[in-house]
Every structure is written in structure tokens, then in C-alpha cells.
């Protein structure tokens, strides 16, 4: 087989890149290790920046998003049983849209299928060959059938545990990592959200987040030890803990119900440099991870896709290498800013096992500064709604 770009990974990065390239007549084949149902069963991000919304529109997959997505003009931040609001609309003239990653991915699959896009599921043993040459190729297996695709470029959109990053020789890449000493226990429940906006809560018992997917589907998280397992937490225990961590005004009106999903995610900051090796380009979680405080994971994956899509367009439409040569540097400049914001917001909102009373005083002082200072709120809002591409 032959195509212009082989895209490894059928998550949001890979599908969005494939659909955008298709709008410009650039062919790709997507290789996904799992099944479509498995990919759609993963409950992940829920907050989309304006840049991602524009990209989805450009890709022609925003009809449902434009109808069902919930624009959010601000967010609540709570500590010491009080909450204050950061007004994105007033401070940045912008907003974010609440629409689940699952729905984004569903819309992208629908669009790829409608356009006859080639997606191979259940692929195993993916190997990228000759990425440093002008004629790379990818081999893989589906069941007993060994296959090969020749291509111009390979996009590594295969997440943190994929093969693409590992294909870059160890002496050609540098990795930067911070592991946080806690995780997030998340549940999804068919209950109305406790507020029409998100609540990020700093409490003496640890962080909590009240989020949502729609008017009758809530997503809540509590910080938990990394040693906890989802089965250790009954729904009752989860709701009781959440109520202790959010201001009583909200705890009193929280509507509880059975969870329909419960999982624990560890928190990590990670960046690999560079994001390009020859004709292999890394995109999204394959190149970087942020802790979810601030909802930057999916949005940062989208900015990589934007840069790579434009670089490939430049190559095919203008016969120019410039975009390709600048890809890694441009993508990383924005990635590091998202890393900084996610690290800062995580540090501000969580209880750390080794935190001293001094450290806690610093958190409260910073929260009080954020509450009182329009300049601090503006910096927070600018990052939250998304820095420009």
C-alpha cells in the first residue's frame, strides 16, 4: 500500500489530522491498535479551547459541537469554604466550550467514515522504518496478515504509550518529567451538574473538581492517593468526600446518583524534545503529558495538529520545507507554556504529602492574590481559554 501520510493512532490527534489533511486532498491512512468502541469508551477531557473549536470547524466536524457544546464564560475557584469567579469573557473576550473528548472523537470517526477515509483497527507490531530518509515506510500486522505502507511522512499520534516516540533513537531525544504524588479519582453520573460552571476546589482534604458533559451528565473528581483503586471507592464514599471538599453552599445542593464510570488517572508532566525526527512527527500525548488541572491535554494535542497540518499543506501546496523544519520548535514553544500553566494550577490546588504549613500559607496567599487582582485573574484566564497558536 501507499499513501502520503501514515498516521499512527486513531485518538483525537490522529483523526483530526487525517480529517484536516483530507479537506486539502492530502491522503492518509490511520493505524489504531484498539477497536473504535474501545477508543470511544475512554472518558477523558471535557473542555475545548477556542483554537480547537476553530480547527474542528475547519475540519467540517463541528455541527453537533455548535449545537450541543456548552460555552463557559468563567469558572469558580474555591478555598476555605468560599468561592470566587474568574470571568473569561470580561478578561479575555473569549470563552471555552464544554463538549466531551468522546463526542469529539465520535464526530471525527463519523466524518472519516463518510469521506471513505482509511482506518485500520486492531493493528499490532507497528514499526516505523527509514524515518530519516525521503522514503519512510510502516509495517504492522492485523491478525496473521503482515502489511506495509510506503509514505512521504509519518505522524506519531499514538499517545504516551505508543511506539512513535520510542522510534527516535535515545541519543537524539531528551525527556523532561515530573510525577505528582497523587491521582484523580473521576466519576461520571447521570445527574444535573451542581453549578452551570466548573468549580476547582482547594480543600484541606485535597483537590476536587466539579465538571460536566451536558445538562444531565456530571463529571466529578477528587484527588486521591496513587495506591487507591476505583473499587476501593463506593459511590457513597465518593459523594461524601466530594461534599467535604467543596463549599457548603454547593455541597448542600449537590445532586448525587449512581456512577456510570469510575476511574483513577495518575498526574504527570512530561515533554520530549525534539518533536520531529526526519520525516516522523510527534503529536499530542505521544510527545507530552500535562496534569489535567486546567484541561490542557487535548487542547495542546490540537495545537500540534494545527502546526503539523499547516506544515504538510505548505509542503504539498507550495513545495516548501519551511513549515516542516519549524514544526518542532513552534509546537514546543506552545507546549511548554501549557506545561507551565498546568503545573502552576496543579501546585496551587492540591495537597502534597510533604506539604508544610508554610507551603499551605503560600497556597492561600496566592489564591487570595488571584481572588483580588484583576492582573492575576487575567493571566489565569488568558491561559485557561488558550494561548494563541
Summarize as ranges the residues that interact with ligand RFL (CB under 6 A): 8-14, 31-34, 39, 44-46, 101, 123, 126, 157-159, 161-163, 265, 284-285, 292, 295-298, 301
Question: Is 330 noted as a catalytic residue in this protein?
Answer: no
Catalytic residue among 292, 307, 309, 330: 292
Per-residue string for binding with ligand PHB, 199-238, x by CB under 6 A?
----------x-x-------x-------------------
Q: Which is nearer to ligand PHB, 296 or 306 (CB)?
A: 296
Question: Is 169 noted as a catalytic residue in this protein?
Answer: no
- CB contact at 8 A, 164 and 304: no
Q: Which is nearer to ligand RFL, 46 or 193 (CB)?
A: 46
Question: Is 72 noted as a catalytic residue in this protein?
Answer: yes
Peptide bond before residue 274 is cis, with ω within 30 degrees of 0: yes
Order of all β-strands in the sheet with 153-156: 118-120, 28-31, 5-8, 153-156, 280-282, 276-277
User: Could you tell me what percentage of the chain is helix, strand and coil, using 3-state DSSP and rounding each to the nearest 5?
Assistant: 40, 30, 30
**199, 203, 247, 251 from 351: Cα distances, Å:** 17, 8, 17, 20
Which of residues 18, 167, 203, 293 is near ligand PHB by CB under 6 A? Answer: 293
Which of residues 46, 69, 183, 284 is near ligand PHB by CB under 6 A? Answer: 46
Three-class DSSP labels, 227-276: CCCHHHCCHHHHHHHHHHHCCHHHHCCCCCCCEEEEEEEEEEEEEEECCE
* CA 38-39-42 angle, 5° bins: 90
Cell numbers for 282: 510527534
Q: Which is nearer to ligand RFL, 8 or 254 (CB)?
A: 8
Cell numbers for 196: 452551570
Catalytic residue among 95, 296, 306, 330: 296
- CB contact at 8 A, 14 and 20: no
Q: Which is nearer to ligand PHB, 30 or 199 (CB)?
A: 199
Q: Which is nearer to ligand RFL, 41 or 204 (CB)?
A: 41
Helix (H, G, I), strand (E, B) or coil at 222: strand
Which of residues 117, 136, 294, 386 is near ligand PHB by CB under 6 A? Answer: 294
Catalytic residue among 99, 137, 200, 220: 200
293 binds, among ligand RFL, ligand PHB, none (CB under 5 to 8 A by kind): ligand PHB
Shortest distance in whole angstroms from residue 193 CB to ligand PHB: 10
Q: HSE on the CB side for 380, CA within 13 Å? A: 26
CA 259/CA 238 separation, integer angstroms: 10
Q: Which is nearer to ligand RFL, 336 or 371 (CB)?
A: 336
Which of residues 51, 292, 323, 386 is near ligand PHB by CB under 6 A? Answer: 292
Active site residues: 72, 200, 292, 296, 384
Residues lying near ligand PHB in the complex (CB under 6 A) are found at 45-47, 198, 209, 211, 219, 292-295
Amino acid at each position: 500500500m501507499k499513501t502520503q501520510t501514515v498516521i499512527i493512532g486513531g485518538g483525537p490527534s490522529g483523526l483530526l489530522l487525517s480529517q484536516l489533511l483530507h479537506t486539502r486532498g492530502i491522503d492518509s491512512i490511520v493505524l489504531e491498535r484498539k477497536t473504535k468502541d474501545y477508543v470511544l469508551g475512554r472518558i477523558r477531557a471535557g473542555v475545548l479551547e477556542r483554537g480547537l473549536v476553530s480547527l474542528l470547524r475547519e475540519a467540517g466536524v463541528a455541527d453537533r459541537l455548535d449545537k450541543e457544546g456548552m460555552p463557559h464564560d468563567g469558572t469558580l475557584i474555591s478555598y476555605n469554604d468560599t468561592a470566587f469567579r474568574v470571568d473569561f469573557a470580561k478578561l479575555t473576550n473569549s470563552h471555552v466550550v464544554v463538549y466531551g473528548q468522546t463526542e469529539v472523537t465520535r464526530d471525527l470517526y463519523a466524518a472519516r467514515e463518510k469521506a471513505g477515509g482509511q482506518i485500520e483497527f486492531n493493528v499490532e507490531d507497528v514499526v516505523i522504518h527509514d524515518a530519516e530518509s525521503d522514503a519512510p515506510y510502516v509495517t504492522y500486522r492485523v491478525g496473521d496478515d503482515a502489511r506495509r505502507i510506503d509514505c512521504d511522512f509519518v505522524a506519531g499520534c499514538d499517545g504516551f504509550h505508543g511506539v512513535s516516540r520510542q522510534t527516535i533513537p535515545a541519543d537524539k531525544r531528551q525527556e523532561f518529567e515530573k510525577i505528582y504524588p497523587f491521582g484523580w479519582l473521576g466519576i461520571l453520573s447521570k445527574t444535573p451538574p451542581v453549578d452551570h460552571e466548573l468549580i476547582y476546589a482547594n480543600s484541606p482534604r485535597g483537590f476536587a473538581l466539579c465538571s460536566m458533559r451536558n445538562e444531565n451528565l456530571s463529571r466529578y473528581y477528587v484527588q486521591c492517593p496513587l495506591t487507591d483503586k476505583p473499587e476501593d471507592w463506593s459511590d457513597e464514599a465518593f459523594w461524601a468526600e466530594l461534599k467535604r471538599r467543596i463549599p457548603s453552599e454547593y455541597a448542600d445542593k449537590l445532586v448525587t446518583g449512581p456512577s456510570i464510570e469510575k476511574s483513577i488517572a495518575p498526574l504527570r508532566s512530561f515533554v520530549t524534545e525534539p518533536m520531529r525526527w526526519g520525516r516522523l512527527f510527534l503529536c499530542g500525548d505521544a510527545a507530552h503529558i500535562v496534569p489535567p488541572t486546567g484541561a490542557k491535554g487535548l487542547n495542546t494535542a490540537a495545537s500540534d495538529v494545527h502546526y503539523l497540518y499547516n506544515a504538510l499543506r505548505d509542503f504539498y501546496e507550495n513545495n516548501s520545507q519551511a513549515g516542516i523544519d519549524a514544526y518542532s520548535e513552534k509546537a514546543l514553544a506552545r507546549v511548554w507554556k501549557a506545561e507551565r500553566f498546568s503545573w502552576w494550577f496543579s501546585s496551587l490546588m492540591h495537597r502534597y504529602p510533604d506539604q508544610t504549613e508554610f507551603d499551605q500559607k503560600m497556597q492561600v496567599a496566592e489564591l487570595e492574590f488571584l481572588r483580588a487582582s484583576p492582573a492575576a485573574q487575567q493571566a489565569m484566564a488568558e491561559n485557561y481559554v488558550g494561548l494563541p497558536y
